[in-house]
Structure 1
Amino acid sequence: MKVPLKWLADHVDLADIPLADLVDRLTLGGLEVSGVRLYGRPAPPGLKAKQIDPGPVWDADKVVTAHVQKIDKHPNADKLKLVTLDYGPAEPKTVVTGAPNIAVGTSGQKVILGLRGSRYFFEEEDKATKQTRKVIKTLEPRALRGIDNDAMCMSNFELGISDEHEGIILLEPDAPVGVPAADFLGDAVLEIDVLPNMARALSMIGLAREVAALFGKTARVPSPEAQTTGESVAGKVGVEIADPALSARYSAMLIRDVTVGPAPGWLQRRLTYAGMRPINNIVDATNYVMLEWGQPLHAFDYDVLVRRAGGQTPTITVRPAKDGEVLKTLDGQDRTLTPETLVIADTAGAIALAGVMGGLETEVTASTKNVLLESASFDPVSIRRTAHRFNLFSEASTRFSRGVHPEVVLPAAKHAAKLMAETAGGTVLAGVVDNYASPVPTQVVMLKRSEIRRLLGIALPDAEVERVLTALQFSLLKTDDGWKVTVPLTRLDIQAGAADLVEELARVEGYDRLPATLLSGELPPQRNNRPLVLEDTVRDVLANAGLQECVCYSLTAKDRETKLGLAGPWVELVNPISPERSAMRTSLLTNLLEVVAENLKHADAVKLFEIGAVYLPKPGDRLPAEPRRLGLVLSGRRSAEAWDDPQGTPRPQFDFYDLKGVVERLAAALHLPAVTFRTTRDVAFLHPGRAAELVVNGRAVGSFGELHPKVAAAVGLAERTVLAGDLDLEAILAAVPERFAYTPISEAPPALRDVAVVVDEGTSNEAVVAEIRAAGANLLANVRLFDVYRGDSIPAGKKSLAYALTYHADRTLKDTEIDQAHKKVEDRLKHVLNAAIRGKE
């Protein structure tokens, strides 16, 4: 939010507050000043905030206001003019200008005169880049087509006010003559990052309340009343609200016989400094009041509404849009609507997206004579949803989506009507058509001194509590143990009762001013948080394996999860920030795969993992289960490109066994007991022939494998091999033993034996290894598969698996012991798996 300080000073006295102090106190009070824009003024001492787009300083004796006495034609140039100016006690000065917005033979205009030595912006071409750039120049005398010239009439561009340089600045008729431009036009504009919980500060009046509380002053809130005619607005327009939950209040006023044209200079300047583009006196009045009160408004062409109503009294209805209804908005776009979109409509159809953008047909144009002024309160969730759906973010939708109290509707409407009457020459009809369908009850909070002491650690004097809360417009009634506090209608953020009020006290007093207080007792000794420690171990193991940790949104959309074959149910949000974030995830892979797809556009390999909660609805319980899961994804080249890679050979890509190796490494590091792997065809998002389950102590704790080609295509990874895993982290960590046995390295030599078995094609490696280990018992130290063979010597439907077996003990084994143990292995394989031992058929 951009805050011109001259405008803010209308509502709170800033005369004795240095700019640097104001910036610091606002920032510490929760309103971070990200920068300061100075118009015509030098940076004051002690200013810590960044100076935004610094421009020329307008010297008091060189840049002044002036009055045009006459305008003559230049004798040597058709497009140039000679302007004679009175700028105070000195002799009138004649300057040469080519400004198109003044004409020969006219006089009386008020302008800004730059004298010799004044600094101004100039646009020149950078010879190196051939692009134009702004530079600050000093005005020096020079001849223009034979006429000496040592001064100039300034434009907004030259003074650094805006990029407009087609004409010179024309001030309002009552502007003083001969005063420094820095006094008349100069200003300091704060750029404040207003957080959602500080939405009340999205207005000059709201911000004035904050400044008043921070500096012990009193905010000035206007009570505008427009002068009205004897004619009443009653019977000229009707207002209906279909659902009070979507619109608590809608008010309409009628201003007749306006003349649409440019707004006065003072109003245009304030809007420009506040970051808004002046349009015309009607629209500018609504924007001005929005910035002053925080209440967005909209102006309709009343005669168009009457025409749409067939010459009858128009009726304005706030309702959900009809499915498929089309509205052409002010930007010329045809918007197809759904019932989730709140609209302003008449009997002929929608005329505006409520709180977001008006319709093109009913906009105020140069020919508009009668204006219907809208001031309303809308449901923040509905406005936020509409703005996100159509990607229409504006000053108005920002304020509505954060909450505007219905009680601000009427004073803002009266202020805007008053401005329109003053700047457009209109007359305001008496009364307001006001449909207040859902009044908001007044909130009363009990604030106890003991609660302040408990939350802040110190006691605040009663006088200070009353000063701060009164400055913030709270009403207080003192009680024996504290205060009964009535919350002002503008404070929609007060939801937690006394805690919110104590937060206000701490914020205004200054967190930096609160004294440090020792804890009342000693801290208890720290106890080991085993799940947290084990999670960190998992992170370390995976990071050492070359994977990077990724933290994704917990929010997703149902259609994204269905691409993975997930069938829900889901925890759905009532007020999603966007359709893409409308449900809580039930798998980590949904968003993780999106990250992979995006990163593979810029890299040839991605190795990611994520640890986080998923959200599973529980029948009969309002809160979902939140089990923690581990997601793994590998895709792309197995190793980085190297200079000695064989020419013409394909680069090795990650495959199933790379991911299996990562899982095995994790299981080994955690000392998981009885780890096995078994094939699975039941995981919807995995390739049915290239997927496995991790089994710990006989229980499946997750699955991994190659992503199903259809799923890969659906998530933007078509024609790529993607390995993904989804593991139950809680079950894995629960299986980690508290203690595990350590076996020292034996000094005795190991004994090596090989065994090659012919088994059915469907027999897994894990099944064979399990039987070998069962038979080898304590003497068998290691089993390693080193060959898989299918060929002419192997019957159809069979395969040969060759294993290297290591027998080891804490003593030297005898050959007879080794032979007996090895024979047990072979016998068990033959009897249990019906295997044939190669070489011993």
Structure 2
Amino acid sequence: MKISLNWLKKYVDINVSDDELVRLIGARLVEVEGMIDETHKYDHIYVVRVERVEKIPDTHLALCKINVGKAEALRAEKDADGLVQVVCGAPNVREGMLAVWIAPGAVVPASVNEDAPFVIGKRKMLSRYESNGMLAGADELDFDDKHEKIAEIDPEVAQPGDALADIFGLSDKILEIENKSLTHRPDCFGIIGFAREVAGILGEKFEYENVGESLKVDNSVEIKIEDENICPRYSAVVLEKHGELKQKYLTWQDTILAKSGMRPVDPIVDATNYLMLLTGQPLHAFDYDKFVAVGGTREPKVVVRLAKNGEKLTLLDDKEVELNENDIVITSNNVPVALAGAMGGKSTEIDKNTRNILIESATFSLYNLRKTQMAHGIFSEAITRFTKGQSPYQTLQVAGECARMLVDGFKVSAVADNYRKLEKENIVRVSADDINSLLGTEYPYEIIENVLRNVGFEVSCDCGKDGKRECEKINVKASAWRTDIHIKEDVIEEVGRLLGYDNIKPTLPLHGTAEPNKMWNLKKQIRDVMRRLGANELLTYSFVSGKLLEKAGQDPKNSYKIVNSISPELQYVRQSIVPSLLEKAYVNQKIPFDRFALFEMNKVYQKEWGMDVENVPVEKMQMGMVLAERKNTGTAYYKAKKYVEELLKELNISVKFLQAKNVATMTRPFEPKRTADIVTEDGEIIGVVGEFRNSVRQSFKLAEYLAGFELDLDAVLARASQKKEIYLGEIEKRDLTVKTSGTYAELVAKIEKVLAGNSVTAEITPLAIYQPDDAKEKNISVHLDFHQKINNKIMQELEAL
């Protein structure tokens, strides 16, 4: 959507710079994708009077003498009468008309955005007639696509020598608005609604009456709406031809259509398009006599209904579409003549022979029109607005304004309005305390009241002291066009948005700090230990395929199946962690990595665990690890067991390893004869460790040296002594450089010994190792992140290593 700043300024007093206005609109209303600067696009282009026209024999050209008035800063020669000579080939050039002259040295506006903009100059026509600049058509001025004639200016609005930019406000900037961020605000798709919001943002009062006068409804046109859910309101105005519309001059309305990305069609269609841009309410004009003829009746009968599958309709663009049951159609006595909200039909098109017209102003179901939009690929300005959910409040008034704009050629002969669904008053109760409490502000009642009134809300209170400080409970009545206001939080959002979220002073919450998450701390400890032991942590999908479960020896019937899975490979919720790790072990061996240990901590689910008190599946936090090597360097079971022992030792949990008894549930991938239960001192099994079945190993195409373990982290947490608590203050950071002839691993071991002796923990990260070519010793630099405050004595011990 494009918004002209000059048009916007006609409705709201803007007291900030254009750049600041763009920033405020972006922060408080809608994303502004860009700003097109057209302040110099129409420089050196003037209104002139054609004084003489002399046809050049045997050509379509004419030698014209023009009065350029006060336009003095020119590179054009004048004759003895003070006139400038221009050669013109337009069929409508005539003496006495006001035309648009592009002076020599000016850029033709339609070429401004081309790679090589066309600069007009003095030139010889037919080798003998000098032409100073050119008389321009609407297409050359970038207001039209058709090259038919030169533009003509109404003598009542300009005189020779006036700058075209001054007459029509063409020294302008155009805002490019991101439509998607206004999806919930259909009222902002018209310049009036947009200006109202800008006024609210700037703290200005917005006063603007509804467009158009209310018409007297006689319902002489029959309107039948088969389902009010697809069409809440349908207004129709019949205009009878009684004269001729004014000669088509270039108007300010034409320039507004062009700035908004539209092109003129004819006076009737242009009026409907202009009002759509002004109010946000789309209109459609039918040829009244064609409409009646299609229906085969003496009087028009409008029927709004859902289309039938297979019905066909030829649209205005000559494209024939096959309708479906989601499409809404406008019919004449049940014969489709328009695809509602999207495009009119060819059979009732306005043309030069049109005598009477029927103006449609209605609202339709946004859900149906979104389906229509995608099914038929129609993305017109009208359907863009309808798919945001237009309010039905202004349909009749906008149709009346269209009649007023066409009053020179038409008069109103019938008015109908089908609006059976009465809207209830939308009143939301809220208080200043509610608003300030949620926003974290201290806005007084007066500011809250003013900012809401500025954008069209009606504000009152229960105590009858409207506008007084004593008012606490506020009744906020949403305007008919605000279809997005339903609850008090909507009102609070309005206050915060319009006054600026960036103006809210950030403060810390007043409530106490939450208790540390013990499971998070446990997982942090486990990561530290496993990392020191050389294992790598993975994070894999919780959703797996049935094939993966079967390869791991697990029964898919014990897994919860996803009804609407995003992929056939992700249909089940996994029962345990190990199958996912085995799958990744194959990928790592294939790379190849000769030896590695993979682990993961996450939630798992099994049907046999049943449901909890809230009737949702029981979930357990589990850790799994897989250890794989290409070359046998011992028994895989004992190496996996060593990982478990080191980990549980760090957590201060004493366990023993007994012949596995629980293979049927927790350990299906494991070989029972080479698997042990991990049993605590009180006899609870908290996990298993062992080697995997040959069938499992072969299914995953893994080497023989393969083992792993699984731990129930909920059971581990209940017994773990988290003596090394996470330091919640600032981490102390120190760098240490030691000269040594040993290895990096030996240095780390020495550092850990010093830290343990002082009951201190730290994360050790290598920084650099430097050794000159002829030296036996090297400098090893490490970075230490201490989890508690330390004293100089500890650093002195470390530096002495």
TM-score normalised to structure 1 length: 0.62
Alpha-carbon separation, structure 2, partners of 1:483 and 1:253? 40
Q: Deviations over 1:108-155 (max 9, x none)?
A: 32222233433446869xxxxxxx954235544443322333333244
Give the corresponding residue for 1:670.
599
Shift of 1:205: 0.9
Q: Deviations over 1:768-800 (max 9, x none)?
A: 98376479x9xx9867969x99xxxxxxxxxxx
Shift of 1:446: 1.0
From 216, 219, 222, give the equivalent of 1:238. 222
Give the corresponding residue for 2:402.
416
Q: Deviations over 1:595-653 (max 9, x none)?
A: xxxxxxxxxxxxxxx8xxx8x9xxxxxxxxx99999x99xxxxxxxxxxxxxxxxxxxx
Alpha-carbon separation, structure 2, partners of 1:523 and 1:5? 49
Shift of 1:767: 10
Q: Deviations over 1:14-46 (max 9, x none)?
A: 4x443223212211212222222233x15xxxx
- What is the SS of the residue equivalent to 2:270? helix
From 69, 83, 97, give the equivalent of 1:88. 69
Shift of 1:252: 0.7
Distance verdict in 2 for CA 1:741–1:108, change over 3 Å: closer
Alpha-carbon separation, structure 2, partners of 1:119 and 1:457? 54
Give the corresponding residue for 2:8.
8
From 418, 423, 427, give the equivalent of 1:440. 423
Alpha-carbon separation, structure 1, partners of 2:513 and 2:64? 80
Shift of 1:375: 0.8
- What is the SS of the residue equivalent to 2:321? strand
Shift of 1:493: 0.9
Comparing 244-253 with 142-151, greater Cα deviation is found at: 142-151
1:321-720 correspondence runs (5 A): 321-422=307-408, 425-429=409-413, 432-479=415-462, 480-495=471-486, 497-527=487-517, 586-589=564-567, 669-670=598-599
The answer to whether the 8 A contact 1:63-1:181 is kept is: yes
Shift of 1:806: 10
The answer to whether the 8 A contact 1:268-1:278 is kept is: yes
Q: Does residue 148 of structure 1 match 2:148?
A: no
- What is the SS of the residue equivalent to 1:197? coil
The answer to whether the 8 A contact 1:66-1:87 is kept is: yes
Q: Deviations over 1:45-101 (max 9, x none)?
A: xxxxxxxxxxx4x44xx33211222222246x7243222212224664333334434
From 189, 203, 228, give the equivalent of 1:216. 203
Alpha-carbon separation, structure 1, partners of 2:702 and 2:302? 83
Distance verdict in 2 for CA 1:665–1:499, change over 3 Å: farther
The answer to whether the 8 A contact 2:122-2:132 is kept is: yes
Distance verdict in 2 for CA 1:227–1:428, change over 3 Å: farther
Give the corresponding residue for 1:193.
178
Distance verdict in 2 for CA 1:381–1:547, change over 3 Å: farther
- What is the SS of the residue equivalent to 1:284? helix
1:10-409 correspondence runs (5 A): 10-14=10-14, 16-39=15-38, 41-42=39-40, 56=41, 58-59=42-43, 62-74=44-56, 78-89=59-70, 92-103=82-93, 106-120=94-108, 133-136=114-117, 138-144=119-125, 145-156=127-138, 159=141, 167-177=149-159, 178-185=161-168, 186=170, 187-194=172-179, 195=181, 196-225=183-212, 234=218, 236-257=220-241, 265-409=251-395
Shift of 1:699: 8.2
Distance verdict in 2 for CA 1:338–1:548, change over 3 Å: farther
Alpha-carbon separation, structure 2, partners of 1:108 and 1:519? 75
Shift of 1:210: 0.7
Shift of 1:338: 2.7
What is the aligned length?
A: 606
- What is the SS of the residue equivalent to 1:361? helix
Shift of 1:271: 0.8
From 733, 736, 740, give the equivalent of 2:623. 736
The answer to whether the 8 A contact 2:307-2:324 is kept is: yes
Alpha-carbon separation, structure 1, partners of 2:128 and 2:627? 100
Alpha-carbon separation, structure 2, partners of 1:667 and 1:806? 10
Distance verdict in 2 for CA 1:299–1:671, change over 3 Å: closer
Alpha-carbon separation, structure 2, partners of 1:767 and 1:36? 64
Distance verdict in 2 for CA 1:203–1:67, change over 3 Å: same
Letter in 2 for 1:283: V
Letter in 2 for 1:71: V
Letter in 2 for 1:246: I
Give the corresponding residue for 2:644.
none
Shift of 1:334: 2.4
Letter in 2 for 1:453: N
Shift of 1:204: 0.9
Distance verdict in 2 for CA 1:551–1:522, change over 3 Å: same
Shift of 1:225: 4.5
Shift of 1:348: 4.4
Q: Deviations over 1:269-320 (max 9, x none)?
A: 2111111121111111111111111111111111012212334212101111
Letter in 2 for 1:136: P
Distance verdict in 2 for CA 1:665–1:741, change over 3 Å: closer
- What is the SS of the residue equivalent to 1:494? coil
Alpha-carbon separation, structure 1, partners of 2:537 and 2:690? 28
Give the corresponding residue for 2:661.
none
The answer to whether the 8 A contact 1:84-1:92 is kept is: no
Distance verdict in 2 for CA 1:119–1:412, change over 3 Å: same
The answer to whether the 8 A contact 1:380-1:400 is kept is: yes
Alpha-carbon separation, structure 2, partners of 1:802 and 1:36? 60
Alpha-carbon separation, structure 1, partners of 2:702 and 2:259? 80
Distance verdict in 2 for CA 1:181–1:17, change over 3 Å: farther
The answer to whether the 8 A contact 2:191-2:277 is kept is: yes
Alpha-carbon separation, structure 2, partners of 1:696 and 1:18? 59
Alpha-carbon separation, structure 2, partners of 1:82 and 1:277? 30
Distance verdict in 2 for CA 1:446–1:671, change over 3 Å: closer
Alpha-carbon separation, structure 1, partners of 2:212 and 2:705? 96
Alpha-carbon separation, structure 2, partners of 1:239 and 1:665? 79
Alpha-carbon separation, structure 1, partners of 2:399 and 2:52? 42
Alpha-carbon separation, structure 2, partners of 1:210 and 1:19? 16
The alignment yields a C-alpha RMSD, in angstroms, of 5.1
Give the corresponding residue for 1:50.
none
- What is the SS of the residue equivalent to 1:253? strand
- What is the SS of the residue equivalent to 1:669? strand
Alpha-carbon separation, structure 2, partners of 1:339 and 1:802? 55
- What is the SS of the residue equivalent to 1:335? strand
Distance verdict in 2 for CA 1:667–1:362, change over 3 Å: farther
Alpha-carbon separation, structure 1, partners of 2:445 and 2:52? 65
Alpha-carbon separation, structure 2, partners of 1:33 and 1:107? 46
For structure 2, list consecutive stretches of 5 or more residues without a partner in the other structure. 73-80, 463-470, 544-559, 611-616, 638-666, 679-688, 708-801
For structure 1, list consecutive stretches of 5 or more residues without a partner in the other structure. 43-55, 125-131, 553-568, 571-583, 593-609, 617-625, 634-653, 674-694, 702-729, 753-765, 790-800, 808-841
